[in-house]
Structure 1
Amino acid sequence: MTDTPNTEPPSVLDELPGDLMMWILIVSELIVFGAGLAAFMSVRITDPVGFAESQDHLNRAAAGANTAILVTSGFLAAYAMRLREAAKRGMARIMLVAAAVLGLAFLWIKAIEYRADAAAGLTLETNSFFTFYYLLTGFHAAHVVAGIIILLLVAWRDAPRNIEVGAAFWHMVDLVWVLLFPVIYLLR
């Protein structure tokens, strides 16, 4: 039996950076967040005044700072990949740890925001807006925690493929926040 070379053109899946299973996870998470945002927008239609009044209690400055933090963190994760490809392993690790530290800063600001909301009596049970607010931003915060762990593991086991996979997950975390921020905090 002779082996014939594979002459098929590469598929789209062959061109994905990272690992197929990570992309399945990312797409499934985006679907979950998308469903949550769709539900938020659907319920918002039934009570636009109540949602706008509730939204006025949120700390837009903190959320804006968190947006800048996550976007910067995503840049550092992407830059780590370039550094690793350029054989600058130590700098790549520093960028991954810096990205994780910015993730911690995001969580710290979010915790301050949650504490202020709770002190003002704004809880999961206040109204539909705050139910969605806590569920969506809390679920996102859980992904930030997972992303921080992934970034630190990847900094430790810094093979280029690992960095690619870790950065892909972290970019999903960034993307979700870039969608949550305007929908929850800004959109009227």
Structure 2
Amino acid sequence: MSTSPEAAASARHLPGDLAMWFFILAELTVFAILIIAFAVAQRLDVESFRAGRAQLDLSTALALTLTLLSAGFCAALAVLRVRRQRQGQAAILLGVAVLLGLVHVALKSAEYHHLATLGLGLEYSTFFTLFWLITGFHFLHVWLGLVILGWMLLRCLRGAYRDGELGGLESGALYWHMVDLVWVVLFPLVYVLAPGP
């Protein structure tokens, strides 16, 4: 069975705007450099990294991971709902995504406050210097992601997304998935993986 040229073009369509893909690629490059720096520094200072990691709360890190990934799942479902002309349902899903993102922000802020209270600041050790830089940089991206999700939510409430004009919606969801992807790498690297002997 042959398909029309329009259907074939739609099947090959890259979701989101090309500019967002370039932005995501640039951001992933910066994160990759930071992650490599962390891994190299860990190899050079094994004991400091082992001691630093022991100060972190794994249960908090798991909760941070669940909130981010759940928000990403809701954002993905919202895009599907909009494609099916159900912007009301999409708005609910985006509202849940924003709430989960805010829970992530609250948990991360509490973690930062706890570490700062213990005196484990930016200058305490190489581990904590890199911990604050990498997770802080990611934290800023979460904030930007929340602004984007909030904007998507408002547009859904107004019924602003029309068929064939979903580039902004898809780009916003892609950005949040990039934030998720980076955290999926940071979580084991920073909180779980112990350096070898």
Same fold (TM over 0.5): yes
2:121 to 108, 112, 123: 123
Measure, in 1, the Cα distance between the counterparts of 2:101 and 2:172: 13
Asked if 1:60 corresponds to 2:58, the answer is yes
For residue 100 of structure 1, report the CA deviation from its aligned partner: 1.3
Distance 1:25 1:57 in 2: 34
Q: Quick one: which amino acid aligns to residue 135 of structure 1?
A: L
Alpha-carbon offset, residue 15 of structure 1: 3.2
Q: Aligned AA for 1:152?
A: G
Aligned to 2:102: 104
Instruction: Number of aligned residue pairs: give it.
Output: 178
Q: 2:187 aligns with which of 173, 181, 185?
A: 181
Instruction: Give deviations 1:16-36, integer Å, cap 9, x for gaps.
Output: 210000000111111100100
Matched to 2:190, the amino acid is I
1:172 equivalent among 169, 173, 178: 178
1:30 equivalenced with 2:36 (yes/no):
no
The 2-side partners of 1:73 and 1:163 are apart by 15
Q: Which residue of 2 aligns with 1:3?
A: none
Percent of paired sites with the same residue: 41
2: CA distance between counterparts of 1:163 and 1:63? Answer: 29
Letter in 1 for 2:184: V
User: Which stretches in structure 2 are left out of the alignment for 5+ residues?
Assistant: none
Residue among 43, 46, 49 paired with 2:47: 49
What is the CA–CA distance in structure 2 between the aligned matches of 1:141 and 1:51, rounded to whole Å? 21
On the 8 A contact 1:80/1:163 being kept in 2, the answer is no
| Counterparts of 2:13 and 2:31, CA distance in 1 | 25
SS in 1 for 2:56: coil
Question: 1:157 Cα shift?
Answer: 2.1
- How far apart are the structure 1 equivalents of 2:95 and 2:28? 25
Which aligned segments of 4 or more residues in structure 1 are displaced greater than 6 angstroms? none
Measured against aligned partners, the alpha-carbon deviations of 1:100-132 in whole angstroms (never above 9, x if no partner) come to: 111111010001101110111100000110000
TM (norm. structure 1) is: 0.91
